[in-house]
Structure 1
Amino acid sequence: MRHEIDREKFGAMGPVMADAVSQCVHCGFCLSACPTYQELGRETDSPRGRIILMKEVLEGTVPLESASPHLDACLGCLGCVPACPSEVPYGDLISPFRALHEKQKPKTLGDRLKRQLAQSTLPYPTRFRMAAMSGKLVKPLARFLPQPLRVMLDMLPSRLPRRQRLAETYPAKTNRRGRVALLAGCAQQVLAPDINLATIEVLNRNGIEVVVPKGQGCCGALSWHVGNLSAARQMAIKNLAVFDMEVDAVVTNAAGCGSGIHEYPLILKGTEHESAARRLAKQTMDVSVYLASLDSLEPIPKPRSVKTIAYHDACHLANAQGVRFQPRELLDKIPGVNLVEVADGHLCCGSAGTYNIDQPEIATSLGKQKAMHVDETGASVVAMGNIGCMAQIEKHLGERGSLVKVRHTMQVLRDAYCQTEMTS
């Protein structure tokens, strides 16, 4: 007997999921692009295998508890999307599916504790900073704590940077030729606030006024990608109001955040906010895309020595937003830079939002492999466009004793403009 997904049963997202399922022809091109399939080697842990599982759960022929372990192991990296000849929008399936079934999914006490801690701290910079500072104090006692807490403590940096309070407006340093609003991010403001300062400096040097709207918050991606639809919607609606202003673009400097805003039309599908969500998604772009779109950039002085820089493709920049050549184009504008690629660059580093907390074993394996490939490039710096990737790769490079410095693309550009030693 042939079963089909009831498009009406699952609300506004039902047709979206049904369409995504119907596009998959199970050809297998996704297998080599899927990090968890490479790690686990099981068909049920491949994109096409997970599509079949989601289809069967939605049709009611397979119980959720049987499918959950395989669906939970998905990074959501969307590496399968550019590899798919049928252009299956896998992101339109996995996140809505998680949102529909999160409450029914069986969870241990440890799972609930991890999820609650992550959801109540990471999206809120002040809370996250307080939690991180408290975590540093109890790190020596980590071996006595429950495993979920040990995993979270292990992800904290050894030293937190000083807090940076951003002004509301940063005027252009040359003749003004544009005005943008900056999404400042949440965890990034705690772990690496210099990324925002570098972004603002590069934009200002190129005649762009930067507005940092007050009242903005987390984009909602951390909640959306683990199925917390109500929290994601609240955050999205808040940002819709905050960024309702006259600017040329809303720019992001974290791949996960940019991808999150581009998913607002799906997050808010079927609500009164859907049209506003589409407008903001259309207006939002990664800062590298905005800079690359300018007619010309301020020339960068020639550095004192040649630098070999590796570039790492953040999944939610390359796969979700299709942004690959613009960051490389910007880095190529730095005189004396030898830009090199990272082997198996299409595979995720294992960060993927809260994945390294939810699935630490797989995340650690992927992080070690990525750090090894970065080290093998011989570069002194590895550039990228996502704070999650930066934290993950820096951690595993450090464990290898590597001297490669992890920098955001905007930090590399800012340092080149200011003639600051790139490896500092």
Structure 2
Amino acid sequence: MPAATQELRRILDKKVLKECVHCGLCLDYCPTYRVLGHEADSPRGRIYQVRQVYEGKVAPDDADFREHIYACLDCRACMTACPSGVNYGAIVEAARAIAEPISPSEKTVGRAVLGSIFTRKPLLDIAGMGLRVYQRSGLQSAVRKSRVLNVLPHRLREMEAMLGPTQGGIRRYVAPRMTRARGQRRFRVGFIEGCIMPQFFGDTNAATVRVLAANGCEVYSPPKQCCCGALQMHTGDRETARELARRNVDAFGPLQLDAIIINAAGCGSTLKEYGHLLSDDPQYAERAAAFASRVKDVSEFLAAIDLVPPMHPVPLRVTYQDACHLVHGQGIRNQPRKLLKQIPELELVEMKDSDVCCGSAGIYNLTHPDVSVELLDQKMEHVLATGASTVVAPNPGCSMQLAYGAQRAGVDLRLVHVVDLLDRAYRGNV
């Protein structure tokens, strides 16, 4: 039996595969099935293929198996639709842990980039600063107006086009190690900065800390925290994800926190799975489970407490994009909307299919651009139909993807996080 098959049996309980009764109720909810139309690119079809590998009937290096496993967005819409409660996310991530990607782009982005840059803050800082200089200096604008990009391969031109505008100054935002609560302290919370958020969305991170403090939270952000491991998990690099999980458990463990706050949906979904990810590690299993139990998305946390009422009006018409790993991965749907509805003069207009993937899906827009763009174009059609000037998106990947969609459509569209609007409602037009 191949070693990869043995590894699959070690990390995935067969009873999870048997929970699927092949009813097909997931098919209409699966974006890749709707776009590609192949049974093998549906949740039911992929579970069947994983079971074939599990039972030794198909080799783990089979090209068709690998192709269909990596064609999945891992959006988990099927889990919301499934009446049997099949943990499809665990199945596809276990399969990717033993199935080497086929395409060069998946191997390059999924292993070299995620394994080197995202796990090392100094390298990520250099890359992030380079991007901000590229944008702030006017070089990006000049390059796009010239014909320089035309000499690049099509894929590189698309990747450059996906570089949405970054927030803040030349240097990345660094959250203070400790921020005192405004007024009486009600909670003691940790804040996970993330790796993409400080580089691209520093203003949102700063707003998160301010909004938490305004609601009586003493906020701690330990300097030894690191990347959560979400992108590594999605691309099958389970061991790197486990090591990152250990580092975060060590960083936050001694702080005695009421909650650990995250403002990026994809990160939050992975952080909440640390208990499962490290369940076989005798030194970390108990601590990882305790860590995971305290993780809260910022909207989940704020909606559950007695929110300090926002006083300043924010006269905007907005629509809300449900991030897949928030609505399907964590079951958080109403909480962000509840917060938005408490902001004076803010008009929330729901878009059609708000909980269908926008096509970002981690690095999917880089590895499967054709499917990604088709999903993005569908999403932009629904966004524009609302007449909203602003889209609220609770995940950095969604924000960058939708900014790219606005650029493709030639429209002026602002992308914000729920906490950006709450912060404005607390502080006024500052």
Q: Given the two structures, how large is their TM-score scaled by the length of structure 1?
A: 0.90
Contact 1:375 1:397 in 2 (8 A): no
Report the equivalent of 1:175: 184
Corresponding letter in the other structure for 2:355? H
Q: CA, structure 1 residues 219+352, in 2 after alignment: closer, same or farther (shift >3 Å)?
A: same
CA distance in 2, matches of 1:398, 1:124: 31
Contact 2:312 2:344 in 1 (8 A): yes
Contact 2:105 2:367 in 1 (8 A): no
Q: Given the two structures, how large is their TM-score scaled by the length of structure 2?
A: 0.89
Question: How far 1:269 moved relative to its partner?
Answer: 3.0
Q: CA, structure 1 residues 159+84, in 2 after alignment: closer, same or farther (shift >3 Å)?
A: closer
Report the equivalent of 1:92: 90
Pairing 1:161-310 to 2, within 5 Å after superposition: 161-162=168-169, 163-244=172-253, 245-272=255-282, 273-294=284-305, 296-303=306-313, 305=315, 307-310=316-319
CA distance in 1, matches of 2:312, 2:361: 36
Report the equivalent of 2:25: 29
Secondary structure in 2 matching 1:74: coil
Q: Does 1:403 align with 2:412?
A: yes
Q: Does 1:117 align with 2:113?
A: yes
Pairing 1:54-69 to 2, within 5 Å after superposition: 54-63=50-59, 64-69=62-67
CA distance in 2, matches of 1:109, 1:330: 43
Corresponding letter in the other structure for 2:242? R
Report the equivalent of 1:45: 41
Question: How far 1:120 moved relative to its partner?
Answer: 2.3
User: 5+ residue gaps in structure 1?
Assistant: 1-5
Contact 1:198 1:414 in 2 (8 A): yes
Identity %: 38
Report the equivalent of 1:157: 164
Contact 1:7 1:14 in 2 (8 A): no
Contact 1:119 1:222 in 2 (8 A): no
Contact 2:29 2:77 in 1 (8 A): yes
For residues 194-240 of structure 1, give each alpha carbon's deviation from its aligned partner in whole angstroms, at most 9, with x where no partner exists. 11111111111111111111100000111011000111011001001
For residues 329-378 of structure 1, give each alpha carbon's deviation from its aligned partner in whole angstroms, at most 9, with x where no partner exists. 11111122222211111210111111111111111111222122111111
When structure 1 is superposed on structure 2, of 311-320 and 144-153 the one drifting more is 144-153
Q: CA, structure 1 residues 32+235, in 2 after alignment: closer, same or farther (shift >3 Å)?
A: same
Question: How far 1:249 moved relative to its partner?
Answer: 0.4
Question: How far 1:125 moved relative to its partner?
Answer: 4.8
User: 5+ residue gaps in structure 2?
Assistant: none
Count of paired positions:
409
Question: How far 1:58 moved relative to its partner?
Answer: 1.8
Report the equivalent of 1:394: 403
CA distance in 2, matches of 1:108, 1:84: 31
When structure 1 is superposed on structure 2, of 245-254 and 63-72 the one drifting more is 63-72
Contact 1:124 1:186 in 2 (8 A): no
Q: CA, structure 1 residues 411+376, in 2 after alignment: closer, same or farther (shift >3 Å)?
A: same
Q: Does 1:78 align with 2:76?
A: yes
CA distance in 2, matches of 1:274, 1:416: 41
CA distance in 1, matches of 2:48, 2:344: 50
For residues 126-154 of structure 1, give each alpha carbon's deviation from its aligned partner in whole angstroms, at most 9, with x where no partner exists. 42343355564797755555566545433
The CA RMSD over aligned residues, in Å, is 2.3
For residues 301-334 of structure 1, give each alpha carbon's deviation from its aligned partner in whole angstroms, at most 9, with x where no partner exists. 25174x3221111000010111111111111111
CA distance in 2, matches of 1:125, 1:332: 37
When structure 1 is superposed on structure 2, of 263-272 and 187-196 the one drifting more is 263-272
Question: How far 1:7 moved relative to its partner?
Answer: 9.9
Pairing 1:336-347 to 2, within 5 Å after superposition: 336-347=345-356
CA distance in 2, matches of 1:239, 1:416: 32
Q: CA, structure 1 residues 284+159, in 2 after alignment: closer, same or farther (shift >3 Å)?
A: closer
Q: CA, structure 1 residues 109+70, in 2 after alignment: closer, same or farther (shift >3 Å)?
A: closer
Please identify runs of 4+ aligned residues in structure 1 that moved more than 3 A.
6-12, 107-111, 122-126, 132-154, 158-161
Secondary structure in 2 matching 1:341: coil
For residues 280-304 of structure 1, give each alpha carbon's deviation from its aligned partner in whole angstroms, at most 9, with x where no partner exists. 111111111111121x222212517
Question: How far 1:188 moved relative to its partner?
Answer: 1.2
Corresponding letter in the other structure for 1:224? M
CA distance in 1, matches of 2:314, 2:72: 44
CA distance in 1, matches of 2:424, 2:119: 29
Contact 2:8 2:94 in 1 (8 A): no
When structure 1 is superposed on structure 2, of 197-206 and 118-127 the one drifting more is 118-127
CA distance in 2, matches of 1:56, 1:75: 21
